[in-house]
Amino acid sequence: MLSTRAHILLAIITIGSIVFIISLVRRDRLRAKYSMLWVSIGLVLGVIAAVPGVLDRISAWAGVAYPPTMFFLLAIAFLFTVVLHFSWELSRLEGRDRVLAEEVALLRERLARLEAGEPGPGQSRSHRTGGDAYSNEGN
């Protein structure tokens, strides 16, 4: 069982964390979808801090003899889940970044051609210079 001092410390850390998360969201430093994850973890920590027997009961149910070990096991499982989620997000964003870089490169190449007065792919010179494609000029 956690001591009273440990519960008070956990409560202070939980309240401080929730206030910090809310301030990050308000200053647009943390997106709302991620803040919900952290606030929910803060609330779980708050329940553990407020109700001393919860961690003991969870530990007994899981067969863990020392309740603080259960707390660390849950923390490690949570951190593993967060790292896995962020790895998935990073992979998804890298794919988007690559596609955007390719599109920007194509647009820059097209802009350079337009500035140089060269016809782009599928365009004739007479169309690019404002000439009438149906006129007999030059024939």
pLDDT tens for residues 63-83? 999 888 888 898 899 889 889
Instruction: Retrieve residue 14's tokens.
Output: 């939980």
Please tell me the predicted confidence (pLDDT) of residue 135: 47
pLDDT at 136 over 70: no
Q: Would you kindly state where each structural domain of the chain is located, as residue ranges?
A: 1-51, 63-121
Compute CA distances 17 → 27, 30, 44, 91, whole Å: 15, 13, 12, 28
pLDDT at 133 over 70: no
Q: Which has more pLDDT, 93 or 39?
A: 93
pLDDT in tens, 103-123: 999 999 999 999 988 876 666
pLDDT at 131 over 70: no
Q: Which residues of 21-59 are buried (b: 16+ CB within 10 A; e: fewer)?
A: beeebeeeebeeebbeebbebbeebbebbeeeeebeebb
Q: Which has more pLDDT, 133 or 58?
A: 58
Instruction: Retrieve residue 33's tokens.
Output: 């979808």
- H/E element, 88: helix 67-116
Mean pLDDT over 10-15 rounds to 82
pLDDT in tens, 13-55: 888 888 898 898 889 888 888 888 888 887 887 787 778 788 8
